[in-house]
């Protein structure tokens, strides 16, 4: 992997930042009683993805970066689970959930590629 000047150059970080915006828009459609439940969980999980990519890239070693990418992947899985629940419970329209899950799939593939690249 070529040397990066900043985590902002990583496509995985860029796409996950866009996902955060999408999740904030989606979560604003949740019922008011979900403000401190599902809405809070969705946004926290989404924000954790680019935050951990950034923190990991800023660390001193590849091992630490890989550890933080693992945390980002965990947050991505949490977000996917919450989105599926929102769809299953009819808290959000299925088409909106599907769009967000597609973005999650793309980010997951990018993270997998980044991990493979770092392990070489």
Q: What is the pLDDT of residues 77-113, one digit of tens each?
A: 999 999 999 999 999 999 999 999 999 999 999 999 9
Share of the chain above pLDDT 90, in %: 92
Asked if residue 2 is part of any domain, the answer here is no
Q: How confident is the model at residue 52 (pLDDT cuts 50, 70, 90)?
A: very high
SS3 labels along the chain = CCCCCCHHHCHHHHHHHHHHHHHHHHHCCCCHHHCCCHHHHHHHHHHHHHHHHHHHHHCCCHHHHHHHHHHHHHHHHHHHHHHHHHHHCCCCCHHHHHHHHHHHHHHHHHHHHHHHHHHC
pTM: 0.94
- The residue-averaged pLDDT of 59-70 equals 96
- We report the CATH number of the domain holding residue 75 as 1.20.1440.60
Q: What is the pLDDT of residue 2?
A: 57
> Containing domain of residue 61, as a range?
7-119
| Structural domain total, the chain | 1
């Amino acid at each position: 992997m070529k040397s990066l000047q900043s985590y902002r150059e990583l496509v995985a970080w860029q796409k996950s930042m866009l996902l955060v915006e999408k999740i904030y828009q989606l979560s604003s459609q949740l019922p008011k009683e979900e403000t401190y439940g599902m809405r809070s969980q969705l946004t926290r999980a989404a924000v954790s993805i680019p935050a951990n990519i950034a923190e990991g890239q800023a660390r001193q070693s590849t091992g630490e970066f890989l550890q933080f990418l693992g945390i980002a992947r965990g947050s991505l899985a949490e977000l996917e689970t919450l989105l599926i629940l929102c769809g299953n419970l009819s808290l959000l329209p299925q088409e909106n959930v599907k769009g967000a899950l597609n973005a999650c799939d793309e980010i997951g593939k990018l993270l997998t590629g980044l991990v493979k690249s770092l392990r070489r």
